[in-house]
Structure 1
Amino acid sequence: MMWWFHRKGPSGFSGASTAEEVTAGVDGQGLVAVITGASSGMGLETARVLALRGVHVVMAVRNVAAGLAVKESIVAKIPGARVDVLELDLSSMASVRRFASEFDSLNLPVNILILYWYQIKTPSPRPSQSAVVQICRLCLMWWFYRKGPSGFSVASTAEEVTAGVNGRGLVAVITGASSGIGLETARVLALRGVHVIMAVRNVSAGLAAKEAIVAKIPGATVDVLELDLSFMASVRRFASEFSSLNLPLNILILNDFISYGQSKLANILHSNELSRILKEEGVNISANAVHPGAIATKLFRNRTIVSALLNSIGRIICKSVEQGAATTCYVAMHRQMKAISGKYFTNCNITCPSSQALDAELAKKLWQFSLQTVSS
Structure 2
Amino acid sequence: MAALRTDMGIDLGTASILVYAKGKGIVLNEPSVVAIDQNTNKFLAVGEEARKMLGRTPGNIIAIRPLKDGVISDYDVTERLLKYFIQKAIGRTLFKPRIIVCVPSGVTEVERRAVLEASIQAGSRKTYLIEEPIAAAIGAGIDITQPDGNMIVDIGGGTTDVAVISLGGIVVSRSLRIAGDDCDDAITRYIRKKHNMMIGERSAEALKMNIGTAYRRQKEVYMEVRGRNLVTGLPKTINVSSDEMLEALEEPVNAIVETVHAVLERTPPELAADIGNTGIVMTGGGALLYGLDKLIQIKTGIPTRIADDPIECVAIGTGKSLDWVDILDNSLIDSESIRR
Assess same fold via TM > 0.5: no
Name which structure has the greater RCO, CA cutoff 8 Å, separation 6+: 2
Q: Higher helix fraction: Structure 1 or Structure 2? A: 1
When the two structures are superposed, what TM-score results if normalisation uses the length of structure 2? Answer: 0.30
Q: Higher strand fraction: Structure 1 or Structure 2? A: 2
Larger Rg belongs to: 1
